[in-house]
Structure 1
Amino acid sequence: MARFKRTLTRTLPLVGTAVLLSSCGLFEETEQPLTTFDPAGPFAEQIDNLFWPVFWIAVGVFVLVEGAILAAIFLFRDRDDRKEPKQLHGNARLEVIWTVIPALILAVIAVPTVSAVFDLTECDPGAMEIEVIGHQWWFEFNYPEQGVQTANVMVIPAGEEVCAVMTSDDVLHNFWVPALNGKRYLVPGQETFLRLQADEPGEYWGHCAEFCGLSHSLMRARVQAMDAAAFDAWVADQQQPRSFPAEGTPAFEGWGVFQAKGCTQCHTVLYDDEEASVIVPDDAFNGPDLTHFASRDVFAGAILPEEGETREQALKRWLADPPNVKPGSFMPNLALTEQEIDLLIAWLGSDE
């Protein structure tokens, strides 16, 4: 038994180290891992500025406590000739000291922490609002002032504060884009708020940070920050209806497949021909609005296309069997033929 324990003690650290090193390969050439140590805006920087003082205070406490423990172990270890040491039980002075000092440390830390918690969620009254709605397993983004609805990618103007007004359509979710701010719950039937701002144009990845079902790990999001002119152009493009495909084209036939397979039960499509438009009722299950699907470079909860995969390859894989790509997906396997998939892809990409 003793030999087994020695072997286990030697093996476990090696196994743990191997697992940690091998996991690094999972993030090679991807946007992962998400990190709070690379702030790209004032609110993420506020968290970073709070973290480091608290971290160094914790390091100091750790060194003092561990130093005292090691000193006690080596200086006062049991020896054959050692007499019974003086007992400290009931020493009021020591007990007050080791109670008051930690309490003071926590009080000092609590003041900036509580202040930051409230400040990071109290939006400026003049900030642009973006509604963030969590679904299993994707994020919906609505721009009420601009009349724009999109999915997976939140587009914001760089250098300006944005107020995320968040809720959930089903279960508890958590919106987290660490480069721009901390985590915030999306609660069914309630609204929560989060301040976002990117100092520079760029892409900032996020993830649902609350377990929300089978495909929780496949629920990602991306914030795309643009300069003011590019953002205004994007809004103007998103406000336009989709052009109805010309008869006889693959896109037109793909629209026919889209209707025949029942996709209109979940997906809204707004055409320049109002009679052809499809608007899903609010009380129905809502999949992503596909009016401007062609303008998005990621889909299916921002997990596709994968690294090294073309958009067409990813769409074929997704349309062939959605639950196989995203377990538990509410988009069923419609048993589409290869021809139907090709026609749907032609329609989806016909209006960039």
Structure 2
Amino acid sequence: MMKRWNVGKRLLPLFAGMMLLLSACGRADLSTLNPQGPVAEEQFDLMKLAISIMIIVVIIVFAISLYVIVRFRRRPGDKIPVQVEGNHKLEIIWTVIPLILLVILGVPTVNSVFGLAKDYSKDPEAIQVEVTSHQFWWEFYYPQYDIHTAQELVIPTGKKIAVTAVSGDVLHSFWIPSLAGKIDTNPGTAVASGTANANKMFFEAPKAGVYLGKCAELCGPSHALMDFKVKAVDEASFDRWTAAQKAPVALPSDPAIKDSLVKNCLSCHAIGDQGVLVYPNLTDIGSRLTVGGILVNTDEAKYDNEGTTYENLKRWIEDPQAVKPGTLMPKVELSEQEIDGIAKYLSELKIDYEK
């Protein structure tokens, strides 16, 4: 007994250190324990119910075990105790109690599973969004407005957002922890053909704010860098954003920078009604919170992945593989003046819709 206690004392500091280490893992804005919408709140309530039942069961079982260990420990001269094998009363008790607990957990779970699986893709009041995942970025298409964007999903507060999700290449998973659970984006044909292997979900954001999304399926070397943002704004701001997305955008006034942009960027990207929309739409890239989904735009950089929009764009254009390994954007041979001019122009492509 003493040897076991000595081993336990040695392991205690290790367990304490592990608990402290694990308690620092994760981010508050990537936690399902901080629900910010009705879908996430319902899922969180189910989680709390399941955990509460498990805690009650564990406490009761441990309490009974401890009582039995202490009360019926072997003493000198003890005889074999009376056996309870075949005690129908006890067997009924320990069979019925788990069944009751399963019903308490199962009924609300089944109710929520079917409720949250409701299809709003035909609801005219819901905002329809077709999500296509790519290595390693997110494409968002609003069929009601004929708007393509990337990396930042702008939505109006208080509206149901009906998501239809597919993949442009491998298996990914669309996840906004504080707003809703995750769904896989499966490889398949285009949504427009009606034969895509699409998954559907819905969510709402009652409050304006920015909510962080992630890919929750290992999809390649930069899986961990496959972030996106959900920007919830009031309905008037959303209307201004949709109008601004469809407005014409002027190209650079400098002919050399304009030619370089058209040749090297607009062969794959679009700005306003110009260019080819194969990769992310750049119409409002200067308004986005990140560049490449991972370089955070800020005036006061504290970490290596932070900088001004201009600095981040310059860093991305110079060597995208250094920022996000495995990305399909190639390193283009440009002069310092071209990189500087294009980065400056793109950083000024802003949509001021939050008035």
Q: TM-score range by the shorter chain?
A: 0.7 to 0.9
CA drift of 1:265 comes to 4.9
Aligned length: 330
Distance 1:78 1:325, change over 3 A: farther
Give secondary structure in 1 for the equivalent of 2:64.
Answer: helix
Q: CA RMSD for the aligned pairs?
A: 2.7
Evaluate the alpha carbon distance shift between residue 351 and residue 15 of structure 1 in structure 2; reply closer, same or farther with a 3 A threshold: closer
Matched with 2:201 is 194
Distance in 2 separating the partners of 1:33 and 1:228: 23
1:260 to 1:109, Cα distance in 2 relative to 1, 3 A: same
Q: Is the 8 A contact 2:135 2:220 kept in 1?
A: yes
Where in structure 2 are there 5+ consecutive unaligned residues? 189-196, 351-355
Residues 148 and 63 (structure 1), Cα distance of their counterparts in 2 relative to 1, 3 Å cut:
same
Partners of 2:20 and 2:33 lie apart in 1 by: 25
Q: How does 1:1-352 map to 2 (within 5 A)?
A: 9-20=11-22, 23=24, 32-124=28-120, 125-126=123-124, 127-189=126-188, 190-246=197-253, 249=254, 252-261=255-264, 263-271=265-273, 277-280=274-277, 286-305=278-297, 308=302, 309-352=307-350
Asked if the contact 2:155–2:238 (Cα under 8 Å) also holds between the matched residues in 1, the reply is yes
CA spacing shift, 1:238–1:107, aligned 2, 3 Å: same
TM-score by length of structure 1 reads 0.83
Structure 1 residue 172: deviation in Å?
A: 1.9
Listed as ranges, the gaps of 5+ residues in structure 1 are 272-276, 281-285
Query: 1:257, 1:343 within 8 Å by CA — same for their partners in 2?
Result: no
Q: Pick closer, same or farther for the CA change 1:75–1:313 going to 2, 3 Å.
A: farther
Task: Flag the 1:73–1:226 CA change in 2: closer, same or farther, 3 A.
Answer: same
CA distance in structure 2 between the partners assigned to 1:119 and 1:324 by the alignment: 44
Change (3 A) 1:240 1:99: same
Query: How far is 1:10 from its partner?
Result: 4.2
Shift of the 75–33 alpha-carbon distance from structure 1 to 2, 3 Å rule, reads farther
Change in 2 beyond 3 A, CA 1:279/1:61: same
Question: Cα 1:10–1:108, aligned 2, differ >3 Å: closer, same or farther?
Answer: closer
The Cα offsets for residues 143-187 of structure 1, whole Å up to 9 and x where unpaired, read as 011011111111111111111111111222222222222222222
**Does the 8 Å contact 1:245/1:350 carry over to 2?**
no
Q: 1:300 is aligned with what amino acid?
A: G
The change in CA–CA distance for 1:313 and 1:85 in structure 2 (over 3 A counts) is: farther
Give the CA deviation at 1:234.
0.5
Q: Deviations over 1:276-304 (max 9, x none)?
A: x3224xxxxx3212233233232312553
**Which one-letter code corresponds to 1:36 in the other structure?**
T
Partner Cα distance (1:151, 1:78) in 2:
69
Structure 1 runs (4+) greater than 6 angstroms displaced: none
3-state SS in 2 of match to 1:44: helix
AA partner of residue 289 (structure 1) = N
Deviation of 1:236 after TM superposition, in Å, equals 0.1
Corresponding residue for residue 353 of structure 2? none
TM-score normalized by the length of structure 2: 0.82
From the superposition, tell whether residues 38 and 10 of structure 1 become closer, same or farther in structure 2 (CA, over 3 Å).
closer
Name the aligned partner's letter for residue 40 of structure 2: A
Q: Answer whether contact 2:158 2:207 (CA < 8 A) is retained.
A: yes
Give the letter for the 2:230 counterpart. Answer: V
Counterpart-to-counterpart distance in 1, 2:112 and 2:95 = 26
- Tell me which amino acid in the other structure corresponds to 2:78: R
Change (3 A) 1:51 1:15: closer
Deviates more, 1:298-307 or 1:224-233: 298-307
Q: Per the alignment, do residues 330 and 117 of structure 1 end up closer, same or farther by CA in structure 2, a change over 3 Å counting?
A: same
- 8 Å Cα contact 2:262-2:275 kept in structure 1: no
How much has 1:81 moved relative to structure 2?
3.0
Shift of 1:14: 4.0
Sort the Cα spacing of 1:320 and 1:8 in 2 relative to 1 into closer, same or farther, 3 A. Answer: farther
Following superposition, the deviation at residue 6 of structure 1 comes to 6.3
**Counterpart-to-counterpart distance in 1, 2:331 and 2:85:** 69
* Percent identical residues: 37
